Amino acid sequence: MGYFYFDESIQERRGFIIGAFVYSVDDLDPPVAAVLTRHGLIPGHDEYHSCANAAGNPKHAALRGAMRGLLHERRFGVVVHPAERRDELGIEAVRGLRKLLDANSLTGQHVAVFDEGIFSSTPDAQQLMDDFGLRGRVDPVFQADSRVRGGLQVADLVAHCCGRMLFEHISDVKKMVKAGENSGYDPDLDLELEFELWAGLRYNWFAGEDKNRPEGEEFWPVVDVSDYGLHISDACTPELRDAAYGRFAKSYLGCIH
């Protein structure tokens, strides 16, 4: 059994939503509570918000780093959907969940925790789970409070990071950030935000062997995400679909320093 946590990031200016499923073999709520406590916050009352600006706020930056650390040995997949059709996000979330289960051979029964507002109602959400054949495979928790179900805060982090990655990918002007300490680069080096976010998440995708791996190649540093950890809604425009595929379809695991 494992645990899925789903939250979304809405990028209105670019017209898309990124939903993220973070998967853990153990319940993420206790480790999130421990991180919050270490940073002087009260679990169940306080929570980590990715949208809070960490620039010039060392305490928030440290909390964000600790939350990122919770992704170690955990995996995630994303759903891409048009912002103008937000009311259909729940349908795509269920489609994405089924893909993650099937493509990654995740057998047995799993818990899936969805943030508030993903579905119009609990009965509608349960019907969708039934319609997509997930009864008996998933024990769902709908309209969950992210202050109580701390794993949702990690899903919020991943959704926000992937949302910014896709936003930057399709932007004409790239935002630059300092590499910072423990990055493997000069701390004062300017890096593209898209690269910095990708570097911190690249090992944690649901992914499999790249179909383009050369025959006989013993080590191939590219993995396929598209068939294992990426669901792009059919409602996406061709432009959004191409951008999402171009940004997320593969992940490079080789040296970047």
pLDDT reported for residue 183: 62
**Domain harbouring 175, CATH code:** 3.30.420.10
pLDDT band at 257 (very low <50, low <70, confident <90, very high): low
Domain assignment of residue 18, yes or no: yes
What percentage of residues in the chain have a pLDDT greater than 70? 94
Q: What is the pLDDT of residues 209-233, one digit of tens each?
A: 998 888 877 788 999 999 999 999 9
Residues 30-40: what's their mean pLDDT?
A: 97
- What number is the average pLDDT over the span 63-73? 94
**What whole-number distance in Å separates Cα of residue 90 and Cα of residue 6?**
10
Q: How confident is the model at residue 58 (pLDDT cuts 50, 70, 90)?
A: confident
Q: How many CB atoms lie under 10 A from the CB of residue 111?
A: 16
What is the per-residue pLDDT for 254? 87
Instruction: Dump pLDDT digits (tens) for 159-192.
Output: 999 999 999 999 877 887 776 666 666 676 778 8
Q: Is residue 100 part of a domain?
A: yes
- Chain segment 13-31, per-residue pLDDT in tens: 899 999 999 999 999 999 9
Band of the pLDDT at 56, cuts 50, 70, 90?
A: low
Name 90's Cβ contacts closer than 8 Å, sequence gap at least 6.
114, 118, 119, 120, 124, 125, 128
Q: What does pTM read for this prediction? A: 0.94
Residue 190 in domain: yes
Of 116-120, 143-147, 215-219, the one with minimum mean pLDDT is 215-219
Q: How many domains does the chain have?
A: 1
Q: How far is CA 198 from the centre of its chain?
A: 11
For 226, the domain range is 3-252
Q: What is the pLDDT of residue 77?
A: 98
Mean pLDDT of the 146-154 span: 97
Output the DSSP codes for 26-90: S-SHHHHHHHHHHTT--BTTB---TTS--TT-HHHHHHHHHHHHTTTT-EEEEEEEEGGGGGGHH
Q: Do the beta carbons of residue 251 and residue 228 sit within 8 Å? A: no
Q: Is residue 77 part of a domain?
A: yes
Tokens linked to 20: 């993220």
Residue 257 maps to a domain? no
Pair 89, 17: CB distance under 8 Å = yes
- Residue 96 amino acid letter: G
Task: Enter the tokens of residue 86.
Answer: 């937000």
Whether 235 is covered by a domain: the verdict is yes
From residue 157, give the alpha-carbon distance in Å to each of 60, 70, 101, 145, 152.
13, 11, 22, 16, 9
Higher confidence at residue 119 or residue 175?
119
Q: Please state, in angstroms and rounded to a whole number, the distance separating the CA atoms of residues 221 and 214.
A: 11
